Amino acid sequence: MSVSEKEVTQAETGARTAPIDREKLVRDMAAIVGTEGVLHKTYDLKLYEYDGSVDKHLPEVVVFPRTAEQVARIVKYCNREQLYYTARGAGTGLSGGSIPLRGGILVAFTRMNKILEIDAENLRAVVEPGLVNLHLSQAVAPYGLYFVPDPSSQKACTIGGNVAENSGGPHTLVYGVTTNHVTGLEVVTPDGEIRHYGGKATDAPGYDMVGLFVGSEGTLGLVTKVIVKLTPLPPAVKTFLAIFDSVEKCSNAVSGIIRNGVIPAALEMMDNLMIGAVEASSHAGYPLDAAAVLLVECEGLPDALEQQAETIEDICRREGATEFRIAKDAAEREALWKGRKGAFGAVGRMSPDYYVVDGVVPRSKLPQVLAAVGDISKKYNLPIANVFHAGDGNLHPLVMFDGNKPGDLQKAVKAGEDIIRMCAEEGGTLSGEHGIGVEKRDMMCFIFNEDDLGIMRRVRQAFDTKGLCNPEKVIPTPGRCGETRIATARKAQETYEREDMQAW
């Protein structure tokens, strides 16, 4: 049965229960964004059924608006026709936030990708949500400025996606994550109205609506314009690589650096398995015989950097570093960072599939938590490579598996759940930057009780009164919180196979 013939029903409150007339839907969307702005064939839709997570679902159509007014018309149409809708940036998200779990309309913002204004004097830029993160820093570099949040996917991820997930990156240890660099938003709310929150000023009176929307994962409305804070480029930068013969020593060095009052711009850690993957992919110069390495970067005035370098080296050697290197030039620094930022992709050389986990623990708990991750790897007989923002205690274990091997996906998901549960039990939290999405939705009770979740539901319902905006994300259905995602993963795998058979 083809996608155009398939009967789709929607069961949530406020959504339609009658079958969707796809031909009419395509015509109606084309009337808003033009025929070139609508995708509806199965082959095309399958390119938009997934992000960087392990979940998938086909939308009914994908639409590419170019203006906020078109977005508003799409949302009003969804309200009138009782259709679900979900926003999508570049599809680099890692928690399933942009997957249209209930089908409906997928609103792709890739054609809304302009820089509308650069206000260098006031350290601000106004951009559309589909602008690629790195392109903003490149555009403002001639002014001696850059946009601080730098996810590893910054060559592809979009500012709108960063806002949705409150993204971070290696260089947010000292500067903060996306919410610290957004001062204003234009939003199409679920009632189809265009509203403005915040502005160029650092703060605004009243409730912090910008703070509410940043990190809301597209569940409260669709962002159509972003006012961001720009930061002057540092006068000097030094990059160091500390090499250790044990993960525990490397972890202790992280706490030691912060404890001594040194806050680097970046403090990243990789274990041996990840080092091997990175070196095979990028030949960045990481030592293959190291148990773990710390990639440290400091910014500031040259004289201050020299003092920081001495302090950091002294701490690392005191904690057992076998070697301490300083990048001798910009090319060596760039190579080290290319290796680090390409770490996720590098794992593809070692495993046909991998599942990225995003949890946070107190820095002091890193040694025992990493040891426990090793135990989880043995428990499920799946290799786990570690690369993470050590200064923030933001872990990114990558669980390797083979999706074609029966049961492997389910084991990988369960291993990830065990890691997240452990992070919560150690006083940490569920996500540092990848968001909750569908991946951790039913784990929210690890840190929130039902009263807390009830308040979140009421906030969401205040905006999304019909329950059509990015359904089944972030907040669990009452009574489902804590349920294992094994059944979900199994169902997802069966769905992939069934839809593949239908498509071909």
Note the pLDDT tens digit of each residue in 263-309. 999 999 999 999 999 999 999 999 999 999 999 999 999 989 999 99
What share of the chain in percent tops pLDDT 70? 92
Q: What size, in residues, is the chain?
A: 504
Interval 454-470 mean pLDDT: 97
- Are 311 and 397 members of one domain? no
Query: What pLDDT is recorded for position 501?
Result: 40
The total domain count for the chain is 4
CATH of the domain at 398: 3.30.70.2740
**Could you tell me if residue 284 is inside a domain?**
no
Interval 51-55 mean pLDDT: 92
Report the sign of the C-alpha dihedral through residues 156, 162, 164, 167, in that order: positive
- Owning domain of residue 258: 237-279+291-330
Query: What pLDDT is recorded for position 204?
Result: 80
Query: What pLDDT is recorded for position 15?
Result: 72
When the pLDDT of each residue in the chain is averaged and rounded to a whole number, the result is 92
Question: In which element (H, E) is residue 238 found?
Answer: strand 236-244
**Could you tell me if residue 477 is inside a domain?**
no
- Are 256 and 206 members of one domain? no
The answer on pLDDT for 135 being more than 90 is yes
Which pLDDT tens digit goes with each residue over 411-425? 999 999 999 999 999
Alpha-carbon gap, residue 106 to 108, rounded angstroms: 6
**Could you tell me if residue 339 is inside a domain?**
no
Contact at 8 Å (CB) between 265 and 176? no
- Are 148 and 123 members of one domain? yes
**Could you tell me if residue 312 is inside a domain?**
yes
Identify the residue with better confidence: 304 or 219: 219
**Could you tell me if residue 82 is inside a domain?**
yes
- Are 202 and 134 members of one domain? yes
Please state whether the predicted TM-score (pTM) of the whole model is above 0.85: yes
Query: What pLDDT is recorded for position 486?
Result: 52
Query: What pLDDT is recorded for position 483?
Result: 64
Q: Which amino acid is at 452?
A: D
Give the per-residue SS3 of 319-344: CCCCEEEECCCHHHHHHHHHHHHCHH
**Could you tell me if residue 153 is inside a domain?**
yes
Which pLDDT tens digit goes with each residue over 1-45? 344 434 334 444 567 777 899 999 999 999 999 999 999 999 999
The answer on pLDDT for 408 being more than 70 is yes
Contact at 8 Å (CB) between 175 and 148? yes
Cα→Cα distances 58→195, 252, 409, 434, Å? 30, 46, 20, 22
CATH of the domain at 21: 3.30.43.10
The answer on pLDDT for 350 being more than 60 is yes
Query: What pLDDT is recorded for position 203?
Result: 82
- Are 43 and 69 members of one domain? yes
Identify the residue with better confidence: 493 or 314: 314
The answer on pLDDT for 218 being more than 80 is yes
- Are 309 and 378 members of one domain? no
Strands 236-244 and 397-401: unpaired
- Are 150 and 106 members of one domain? no
- Are 298 and 313 members of one domain? yes
DSSP designation for 50 = B
- Are 179 and 228 members of one domain? yes
- Are 95 and 139 members of one domain? no
The answer on pLDDT for 496 being more than 50 is no
**Could you tell me if residue 227 is inside a domain?**
yes
**Could you tell me if residue 107 is inside a domain?**
yes
Domain boundary among 111, 126, 160: 111
- Are 296 and 228 members of one domain? no
CATH of the domain at 190: 3.30.465.10
Query: What pLDDT is recorded for position 13?
Result: 52
CATH of the domain at 325: 3.30.70.3450
Question: In which element (H, E) is residue 125 found?
Answer: strand 124-127
Which pLDDT tens digit goes with each residue over 162-199? 999 999 999 989 999 999 999 999 999 999 999 999 99
Question: What three-state secondary structure class fits 116?
Answer: strand
Query: What pLDDT is recorded for position 1?
Result: 37
Which pLDDT tens digit goes with each residue over 300-341? 999 899 999 999 999 999 999 999 999 999 999 999 999 999
Query: What pLDDT is recorded for position 10?
Result: 43
Question: What three-state secondary structure class fits 458?
Answer: helix
Domain boundary among 111, 127, 145: 111
- Are 392 and 448 members of one domain? yes
Interval 350-364 mean pLDDT: 95
Alpha-carbon gap, residue 20 to 461, rounded angstroms: 25
Which pLDDT tens digit goes with each residue over 371-398? 999 999 999 999 999 999 999 999 999 9
Alpha-carbon gap, residue 77 to 21, rounded angstroms: 14
Query: What pLDDT is recorded for position 66?
Result: 98
